[in-house]
Structure 1
């Protein structure tokens, strides 16, 4: 649920009260905060996220990734 502005570009819609980004509700507070940070950082670089993009990020964050966790611990430790 992104809204186009006058220039035809998508607007970033973040609602901290409902913990939603582009209309996608993210119930887990930690996941919401992480996605919000990533999205805001990348929007500053020119990315225009859609609801589908946020759904994909949410799905990724809610899924276990043991291989990535192992790689992270190998690089950064526990």
Structure 2
């Protein structure tokens, strides 16, 4: 499985991001965990984005 990443639109699997740091952080988390065999869903991407926003990662 590969992630559908669009760096110009800042989307991962169709989920939009408004903050570059959060976008890159979620991308890193997804890619490193996929090495271990995890196959994320769109819901997973949304959850990670929302959790990063709630934690104030900037």
Partner of 1:71: none
TM-score, normalised relative to structure 2: 0.85
The separation in 1 between residues aligned to 2:6 and 2:39, in whole angstroms, is 17
The separation in 2 between residues aligned to 1:64 and 1:17, in whole angstroms, is 25
Higher Cα Rg, which structure: 1
Provide the aligned C-alpha RMSD in A: 1.5
**Number of residue equivalences:** 56
In structure 1, the gaps of 5 or more residues are 1-9, 66-78
Shift of 1:15: 1.1
Question: Which has the higher relative contact order, 1 or 2, with Cα contacts under 8 A spaced 6 or more apart?
Answer: 2
In structure 2, the gaps of 5 or more residues are none
Residue 11 of structure 1 contacts residue 48 of structure 1 at CA under 8 Å; is this kept in 2? no
The separation in 2 between residues aligned to 1:50 and 1:15, in whole angstroms, is 16
TM-score, normalised relative to structure 1: 0.65
